[in-house]
Amino acid sequence: MSILAVERVTRRFGGLVAVNDVSLAVEPGMIFTVIGPNGAGKSTLFKVIAGFLAPTSGTVRFAGETISGLKPHIIARKGLVRTFQETTVFKEMTALENVVIGHHMRARSGDLGVLFGLPAARAEEARFRETAAEILTYLGLGHVLHERARNLPHGYLRALGIALALASEPRVLLLDEPFAGMNPEETDQAVRMVRGIRDRGVTVLLVEHDMSAVMRISDRILVLNFGNRIAEGTPAEIQSDPAVIDAYLGQADDMVGL
């Protein structure tokens, strides 16, 4: 059974159809990538999946259960967590504090326990800080645990955003352009990181412009153009698909990497 199924989802903004009758199915353990030119509707699709936007029509199913219409924090608690294209971290907090927050939905102690510092809540908090430090070290941020996020370089912020989402132990992780603004070296590192996340058993749904990275990392690719699904397949199939080449025509060659 697919872990995530998008069924005939349409999302309009007034007259504009940002996502038009799109379906997709993601199998567990996959890296599934959505590509498409600017404004194709990729982020909108992600927002619909994660519950930040309601679909105009269509449904989203997570592990067989309909989740469209639920609030984002409920969807997140079910195990579907999203990172953002724009801002991905809490800038005024340290890297460690950021990732501790990421643990929130795993917390079992109630607000009162936390407020009065009851032993169980304290123990939990200590555990969160430990695993937060572990995750950050795993992602290569072990040396900046107590640095405020705002002072970190761009590449680190992306990794921190992913660490934040990982802390919640998602079953499906939605990453919106995690490689944007990275140099090739940083991208290589990030690609390894995303693979590592998948190898930990997390299904990854990706939006990305960096074609060489997309082709290396993806198990399956869906192509959107003007909100329409124009192709879906393995990286090899997508690279030779005439409709895709058409859609990207006029874009810089290195953008497409075909």
Partner 1 sequence: MADQPPRAAGRTLAGFAVFALVLLVVVPLALASQPYWLTVFSNAALLALGSLGVWLTFSIGRINIAQGAFTLVGGYVTAILATRYGISFWVCLPLSAAVAALVGGLVGWPILRLRGVYFSMITLSLTSTAGLLFLNGGALTHGAEGINNIPRPAVLSSNLAFYLASAVLLLLGTAVIWRFAHSRLGYVFRSMRQNEDLAWSLGIDVARYRILAFVVSSAMGGIVGAMFAISQQSIFPSSYTVNDSVTFMLYCFLGGLDYVAGPVFGAFLLVIAFQLLSAIESYQALLYGVFMIGCMLLRPNGLLSLVLAPPGAEQSS
Ligand X SMILES: Nc1ncnc2c1ncn2[C@@H]1O[C@H](COP(=O)(O)OP(=O)(O)OP(=O)(O)O)[C@@H](O)[C@H]1O
Binders of partner 1 among residues 144 to 163 (CB under 8 A) are: 145-146, 148
- What the block records as the tokens of 40 is 């194709």
Q: Does 6 bind ligand X (CB under 6 A)?
A: no
With CB under 8 A as the contact rule, the residue among 71, 154, 192, 200 that binds partner 1 is: 71
3-state secondary structure the chain: CCCEEEEEEEEEECCEEEEEEEEEEECCCCEEEEECCCCCCHHHHHHHHHCCCCCCEEEEEECCEECCCCCHHHHHHHCEEECCCCCCCCCCCEHHHHHHHHCHHHCCCCHHHHHCCCHHHHHHHHHHHHHHHHHHHHCCCHHHCCCEHHHCCHHHHHHHHHHHHHCCCCCEEEEECCCCCCCHHHHHHHHHHHHHHHHCCCEEEEECCCHHHHHHHCCEEEEEECCEEEEEECHHHHHCCHHHHHHHCCCCHHHHCC
- Interface region with Mg ion, contact rule CB under 5 A, candidates 81-89, 112-120, 126-134, 225-233: 81-89
Smallest gap from Cβ 100 to ligand X, in A, equals: 29
Binders of ligand X among residues 81 to 140 (CB under 6 A) are: 85
With CB under 6 A as the contact rule, the residue among 20, 33, 44, 218 that binds ligand X is: 44
With CB under 6 A as the contact rule, the residue among 38, 65, 117, 253 that binds ligand X is: 38
Smallest gap from Cβ 83 to Mg ion, in A, equals: 12
- What the block records as the tokens of 233 is 């397949």
Q: Does 43 bind Mg ion (CB under 5 A)?
A: yes
CB nearer to partner 1: pick between 62 and 248: 62
Binders of partner 1 among residues 195 to 254 (CB under 8 A) are: none
With CB under 8 A as the contact rule, the residue among 61, 129, 195, 198 that binds partner 1 is: 129
CB nearer to ligand X: pick between 4 and 18: 18
Q: Does 20 bind ligand X (CB under 6 A)?
A: no
With CB under 8 A as the contact rule, the residue among 2, 59, 94, 131 that binds partner 1 is: 94
Task: Note the residues at the interface with Mg ion (CB under 5 A).
Answer: 43, 85
